[in-house]
Structure 1
Amino acid sequence: MNYIADMEKNGKIIFIADAHIVDDPVSSEPFFGLLEQIADSGFGVVFLGDIFELWIAFDAYEDPVHRRFLDWCRREKTRRMVGFIEGNHEFYVAKRHADAFTWASDRTYYLSNGK
């Protein structure tokens, strides 16, 4: 599937960045409520980093909130494009959980004046 062509065709993408979610219902429930609204939409979604306050993608360091997010992404990537770019608060997510996303990247991108 050509995801770029699909994005250009429907033009409906939500970008989420810097949510800094922690494993606490006060922080996480509004975020997961938003994800359920996205699940009911036709929009693709791209997570642009720092979605969690800290996420080290090794079993000993992952919290239930990380697993809940991955479950949502795995389910939804069958219905929509789900992209993930690591921020400076996420480590090894793209490598260890690539199967949860349509595409994932651990590269650093610098944008300035649209370039």
Structure 2
Amino acid sequence: MKVDQKGHTVTIKDTQGDVNAFLEKVTQQFKTFEKQNIIIDLSANAAITEKDLKAFLPLSKLHKKTKKSFVIVATDLDFNAISDKLAVVPSLLEAHDIIEMEEIERDLGF
């Protein structure tokens, strides 16, 4: 697990390729990141499935209650098949764009 912090956003990258172990580590260390926007970078794992992503849903809901963004970066997926409750994008640039838009929405009171 590699953690990179820029401003009010932390990017957590899976370096092992084991989604379940990675999710467990992130969940255990959630308190460390709860006051920041989170990007979960799974782009290095080509074998990721929609089922793997759905495992992040409880953590995403918990984080959104703190009025912060939770975005997952994953490639080679059918993005239409993914639950609209999860923010999943194909690149880090798009993840930062989503966070920026959500920050503006929160500032405007949406």
TM superposition score normalised by structure 2: 0.53
When Rg is computed on C-alpha atoms for both structures, the one with the higher figure is 1
Letter in 2 for 1:70: L
User: Is the aligned partner of 1:70 residue 2:52?
Assistant: no
Pick from 81, 86, 104: which aligns with 1:100?
Answer: 86
Give yes or no for contact 1:18–1:49 (8 Å, CA) kept in 2.
Answer: yes
Against the structure 1 CA distance between its residues 75 and 30, is the aligned structure 2 distance closer, same or farther, given a 3 Å change threshold? closer
Once residues 22 and 105 of structure 1 are traced to their aligned partners in structure 2, the CA distance between those partners, rounded to angstroms, is: 17
The equivalent of 1:30 in structure 2 is 25
Q: 1:77 touches 1:100 (CA, 8 Å); kept in 2?
A: no
Residue identity over aligned pairs, in percent, reads 11
**Structure 2 unmatched ranges of 5 or more:** 1-6, 94-110
Residue in 2 that maps onto 1:49: 42
**Aligned match for 1:21, one of 14, 18, 22:** 18
- Rounded to whole Å, the distance in 1 between the matches of 2:31 and 2:36 is 12
Q: What secondary structure sits across from 2:29 in the alignment? A: helix
TM-score normalised by length of structure 1? 0.51
Where in structure 1 do 4 or more consecutive aligned residues deviate above 6 Å?
Answer: none
- Going from structure 1 to structure 2, the CA distance change for 1:85 and 1:55 (only over 3 Å counts) comes to same
SS of the equivalent of 2:71 reads strand
| Residues 57 and 85 in structure 2, CA contact (< 8 A), matched pair in contact too | no
Count of residue pairs the alignment pairs up: 84
Question: Letter of the aligned partner of 2:90 in structure 1?
Answer: D
Alpha-carbon deviation of 1:52? 5.8
- One-letter amino acid of the structure 2 residue matched with residue 14 of structure 1: V
Q: 1:84 aligns with which of 68, 72, 79?
A: 72
Q: RMSD value over aligned CA atoms?
A: 3.1
CA contact (8 A) 1:46 1:82 kept: yes
Structure 1: any 5+ residue segments left out of the alignment?
A: 1-10, 110-115
